[in-house]
Amino acid sequence: MDQKLIESEWDNIQRMAASIITGEVNPSVIISKLSSKEYSSRTKRAFVQYNNIVKSHFILQYIHDIDFRRAVTNALNRGEKYNSLYRAITLLNNGQLKGTSEIEMEVWNQCTRLIAAIIHYYNCYALNELYVKAKTKEEKAFISQFLPTAWGHVNLLGHYEFCVETKADWIVDWIKNFDWKETKEKIPK
């Protein structure tokens, strides 16, 4: 590592970081400029040196700390589960976006994200209520293994009517009557 280069360019590095944090500059502008093969400067070389320090620290911590490694894996898995949910929703139309213009496709994309967020919220709400209601550590451990991005219990191909009146407390009743031992026996091992 070239420590003198980093020290000599530290003011420029801090200035760029402050510009991004304050919103004065869009991060993509700085990243695209620094990523360009044609652009070369002392600041860019200092960033590369500084990045080597950060990357080495991350790799060493990942190798050494089992809890950190588990946290990184869990975060990656959560992202992959959300992507799987998003793909499941988009594949309902044989993987074809509805719409012919760029605006219609963006609306379709945002609607898909909204549906995924609703499913995620519904699951989080139900899991939180079940966890709070849990009486034993074993029951809490059982509930904790479920992911809020699951969609197997959601009918993605159903017909929905949002204008009809329904019993609003159906989920509260379901949570009240939930029997975790009965559910645990139904799960294949």
Q: What is the mean pLDDT of residues 128-153?
A: 87
Say what the pLDDT of residue 97 is.
Answer: 59
With 70 as the cut, is the pLDDT of residue 166 above it? no
11 vs 94, residue with greater confidence: 11
Q: How far apart are CA 111 and CA 155, in angstroms?
A: 17
Tokens representing 110 are 């945002």
Cβ-based burial of 143 (10 A; exposed 0-12, middle 13-18, buried ≥19): buried
Per-residue pLDDT tens for 62-76?
A: 999 999 999 999 889
pLDDT at 93 over 80: no
The per-residue pLDDT for 165 is: 66
Contact between 175 and 133 under an 8 Å Cβ cutoff? The reply is yes
- C-alpha–C-alpha distance, residues 53 and 47, integer Å: 10
6-10, 89-93, 130-134: segment of lowest average pLDDT: 89-93
Identify which has the larger pLDDT, 149 or 91.
149
Q: How far apart are CA 34 and CA 12, in angstroms?
A: 13
Measured between alpha carbons, how far is 48 from 50 in angstroms, rounded to an integer? Answer: 5
Contacts of 173 (CB under 8 A, 6+ apart): none
| Complete DSSP assignment for the chain | --HHHHHHTHHHHHHHHHHHHHTSS-HHHHHHHHH-SS---HHHHHHHHHHHHHHHHHHHHHHH-HHHHHHHHHHHHHHHHHHHHHHHHHGGGTTPPS-SSHHHHHHHHHHHHHHHHHHHHHHHHHHHHHHHH--SHHHHHHHHTS-TT--TTS-TT----SSS---TTHHHHHHHT--HHHHHHHS--
**In the predicted model, what is the mean pLDDT of the chain?**
85
At 8, list the tokens.
């000599």
Q: Is the pLDDT confidence value at 169 over 80?
A: no
Which one is predicted more confidently, 13 or 186? 13
pTM exceeds 0.85: no
| Span 19-59, pLDDT tens digits | 989 989 888 888 888 888 888 889 889 988 988 999 999 99
- Does the pLDDT at position 92 exceed 80? no
Q: Cα separation of 125 and 119, whole Å?
A: 10
